[in-house]
Amino acid sequence: MEFGIMSNGFRPHTSAGQTYDEDIAEIVLADQLGFRDAYISEHHAEPPHLDRVDTIPVPELMMCKAAALTSRIRMGAAVKLAHLQHPVDVAVSAAVTDHMLGGRFIFGFGTGFGNPSFCEERGLSFDDRHERLRESIAFIEKCWSSRTPFDWEGKHWQGRGVLMLPKPVNAQMPMAVDTDTDAMIEHAARNGWTLLIAFVENAERIRHKVELYVAAGRAAGQPDPMRRIAVARAVYIADSKQQAMDDMREAVAIEVGVQAQRGFLNMMRQRYGIEIRADHTAIEQLVEAGLYIVGTPDEVAARLIDFHAVSGGWGTFMIVCGKAWADRARRARSMRLFMEQVAPRLRALEQPAVAAQ
């Protein structure tokens, strides 16, 4: 099993620059501790964010700065909303980032949170975003591979005499997708793309995705598809479960308060059957629901071992970062304790039956 961080940036507003510095500090520490991957969430502005939360709508720029401060860790977006921009521009940005990172770039893509305003701001349709994304990815791959100018006459995108430079570092760009669409899960498996599974998914839904992905990958002859599934959970380690919750309480209450205005809590109601209160008791509810896994190293390891079994298994586990929990020193201690005392126990796990069928 490999390990990564999901830099799901959500810090109370100071300035965007300060927020990015905090995120980069965690990526640098992750590199030092031996995490293999860092996926950075692409968050666009919404009215509830104004003067309350700093967002990162262009994570590739953060990656380029982090690349100069790290040596091994791979970086990608989680996810690039590729249906919002012309595919030629997305393809160029990804290829340049790939070179700036020295081949450590992963092209992570998806449709993102279901907010129509992201499409409407750009004069695009929200209803056909999934279809537009599929065409975008085909167009982008053509940009990367074609050695001669080509025309593209699609349903959603057009281009004449397209010749994109630079080409990616390697002939096959590493790709990853976060999706709720069964057809895209199967398509990703057949192509050997990493399947990203966000920390809001419950174990039952994760198991469905795992089974679908593994079956499609095996049918396509992909070797060991399980190792290309990356699952995230919010993890925080302290001297006790109570201390962990107390360290997180203020920041979680602020985040839940903003998320309540975005409609995000409706998703939690549908997936977990719980009504999360937008106050200082939210952390207890999130821990009880299993979205946040907190406590001592022993407690966290036990919870994750159980989660691994009931959710169908995965090849990479990502801990959520990018939050204002406690302070930088305590967040760093949590990450160190995870890699020193929890990760070795997860590495020793055998994959569940779904992986062995």
Residue 231's Cβ-count burial label (10 Å; 0-12, 13-18, 19+) is: buried
Q: How confident is the model at residue 268 (pLDDT cuts 50, 70, 90)?
A: confident
The CATH-assigned architecture of domain 2-78+178-356 is Alpha-Beta Barrel (3.20)
Tell me the domain boundaries of the chain: 2-78+178-356
pLDDT digits (tens, 9 = 90+) for 314-350: 999 999 999 999 999 999 999 999 999 999 999 988 8
Q: How confident is the model at residue 357 (pLDDT cuts 50, 70, 90)?
A: low
Which of 297, 150, 172, 289 lies closest to 233 in space, CA to CA?
289
Q: For residues 249-265, give the mean pLDDT.
A: 90
